[in-house]
């Protein structure tokens, strides 16, 4: 069911919030042992919140009603009583937040992220925190320090990353929706691999306050659901200006009319290259044909600096991550006591080295070293500054393309979900999983992953990229595609 359908059942008293929450928790307990989508469950908190929310619904709607209410005039939010899951790098007050890392294994959040405050105010019920690649660095959720999440469609394959736990939880019907974070494709790619819908909003559209920072000029929080309608509802609640995040903005979103035949969709030739699986190519080409049948015009376009997007992203991401992760030193966050031998520690540098070497995973250490090198004296201009210049060129490519088209359509990933362990020994192959998603991230553009069929019973995702703060256009096009 959609959020609206569940909402109607709740206010008609056909079902209670407690029944929904208990059903979800039982399903998670029964089935998540194989998938490992959750790192932390908070059943007591969820049940307590469900009871409060039900009391609120009972006060507002004292008697069952067979009449379909106009939800826009309802006295309670559409999210009231709706169960959700939160990626474990987004802070929830009094709940453990590990970011998938042992260095934060004991960290309890003292406050709510802004998006969590907004979900709680709307009445959403948080079931728990989902697994992720450590500090959101990865494309498969195999880099978590605590568990490997498996794809619900094939337990021998990855769910994508780094928001693999969130995507797997939604695909498994453990919750109605989940929040993830997207730095270079970490919402869109797992959504594609798991056959669900994932939105990366425009940079600045959603507050990052309370998100464990990885690459601050790229990170963005967004929703993962089973359908476009639910994405619209959640995005409308979590978006908007936040005084606690200076990069967030209030935007006047213009909703397109129901007739979108005037839209033009660009098809960039650089995204249909050698290396893309034939089955993936065919499924995305079917999406193009479907839009054409709906009367939407498609144009061949070029984004000439696409080939530089992945190395540019890698340098910027690693540089910003190395700076952001400097705060995790075993003193200020996470570890409650020293778990190292005093014989190995002669000074503060030894302490930092021992803690960070022991409690950071291999991929984290790799990116910190890369980022620190790129920012070091003598190499800053050669690497980080040059990457920022190329980033500007990539953004200009998109700006020029959007002078001709309204949306850009591409694959989300060159492959379907790959097998567990297949790319763990080759970081370059793993990074290539994000080759089609990093461009929109570097340009700060909104993008969505839409399920568009399967290849060998594995989901394929198509990506729609839009102009800044034009999420309504993306969502409308996705909605039309979903219905027809």
Q: Is 72 a catalytic residue?
A: no
* Banded model confidence at residue 456, pLDDT cuts 50, 70, 90: very high
Q: Which residue has the higher pLDDT, 467 or 346?
A: 467
Q: Tens digits of per-residue pLDDT, 425-446?
A: 898 899 999 999 999 999 999 9
354's CB contacts (< 8 A; 6+ apart) are: 340, 344, 345
Which residues form the domain of 475?
Answer: 1-484
When divided into structural domains, the chain yields a total of: 1
On average, the pLDDT of the chain sits at: 93
Q: What is the pLDDT of residue 349?
A: 86
pLDDT at 85: 98
| Catalytic residue selected from 140, 172, 181, 186 | 186
Residue in 207, 83, 208 with CA at minimum distance from that of residue 136: 208
Residue 480 sits in a domain whose CATH number is: 3.90.1300.10
To the nearest 10°, the Cα dihedral for 465, 467, 473, 475?
Answer: 40
Predicted pLDDT of residue 68:
45
Name 83's bridge partners: 125
- Residue tagged active-site, from 37, 87, 129, 207: 87
Q: What is the pLDDT of residue 152?
A: 98
What's residue 70's pLDDT?
Answer: 45
162 is catalytic: yes
- Token readout for 31 is 């089935």
> Which pTM does this prediction carry?
0.95
pLDDT band at 355 (very low <50, low <70, confident <90, very high): confident
Task: Report the pLDDT value the prediction gives residue 384, as an integer from 0 to 100.
Answer: 96
The residue from 37, 162, 314, 413 that is catalytic is 162
Give yes or no for residue 340 having a pLDDT over 80: no
Whether 216 is a known active-site residue: answer no
């Amino acid at each position: 069911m959609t959020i609206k359908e569940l909402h109607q059942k709740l206010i008609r008293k056909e079902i209670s919030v407690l029944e929904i929450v208990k059903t979800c928790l039982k399903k998670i307990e029964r089935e998540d042992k194989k998938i490992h989508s959750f790192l932390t469950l908070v059943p007591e908190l969820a049940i307590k919140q469900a009871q409060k929310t039900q009391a609120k619904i009972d006060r507002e709607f004292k008697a069952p009603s067979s009449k379909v209410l106009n939800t826009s005039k309802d006295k309670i939010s559409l999210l009231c009583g709706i169960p959700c899951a939160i990626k474990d790098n987004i802070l929830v007050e009094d709940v453990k937040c590990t970011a998938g890392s042992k260095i934060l294994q004991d960290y309890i959040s003292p406050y709510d992220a802004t998006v969590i405050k907004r979900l709680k105010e709307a009445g959403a019920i948080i079931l728990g925190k989902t697994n992720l690649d450590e500090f959101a660095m990865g494309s498969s959720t195999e880099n978590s320090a605590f568990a490997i999440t498996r794809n619900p469609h094939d337990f021998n394959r990855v769910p994508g990353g780094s928001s693999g736990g969130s995507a797997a939880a939604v695909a498994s019907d453990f919750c109605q929706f989940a929040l993830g974070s997207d730095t270079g494709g970490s919402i869109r790619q797992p959504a594609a691999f798991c056959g669900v819908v994932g939105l990366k909003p425009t940079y600045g559209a959603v507050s990052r306050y309370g998100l464990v920072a990885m690459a601050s000029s790229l990170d963005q929080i967004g929703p993962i659901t089973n359908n476009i309608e639910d994405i619209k509802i959640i995005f409308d609640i979590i978006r908007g200006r936040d005084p606690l995040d200076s990069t967030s903005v209030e935007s006047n979103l213009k909703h397109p009319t129901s007739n979108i035949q005037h839209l033009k969709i660009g098809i960039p030739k650089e995204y249909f290259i050698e290396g893309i699986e034939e089955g993936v190519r065919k499924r995305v080409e079917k999406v193009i044909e479907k839009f054409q049948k709906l009367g939407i015009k498609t144009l061949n376009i070029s984004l000439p600096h696409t080939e530089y997007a992945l190395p540019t992203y890698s340098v910027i991401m690693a540089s910003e991550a190395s700076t952001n992760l400097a705060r995790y030193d075993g003193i200020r966050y996470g570890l409650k006591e020293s778990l190292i031998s005093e014989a190995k520690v002669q000074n503060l540098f030894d302490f930092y080295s021992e803690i960070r070497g022991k409690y950071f995973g291999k991929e984290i250490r790799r990116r910190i070293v890369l980022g620190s090198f790129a920012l070091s004296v003598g190499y800053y201009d050669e690497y980080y500054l040059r990457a920022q210049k190329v980033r500007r060129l990539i953004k200009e490519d998109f700006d020029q393309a959007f002078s001709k088209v309204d949306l850009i359509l591409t694959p989300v990933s060159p492959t379907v979900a790959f097998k567990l362990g297949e790319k763990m020994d080759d970081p370059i192959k793993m990074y290539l999983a994000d080759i089609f998603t990093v461009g929109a991230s570097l340009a700060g553009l909104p993008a969505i992953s839409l399920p568009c069929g399967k290849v060998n019973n594995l989901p394929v995702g198509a990506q729609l990229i839009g102009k800044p703060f034009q999420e309504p256009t993306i969502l409308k096009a996705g909605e039309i595609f979903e219905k027809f």
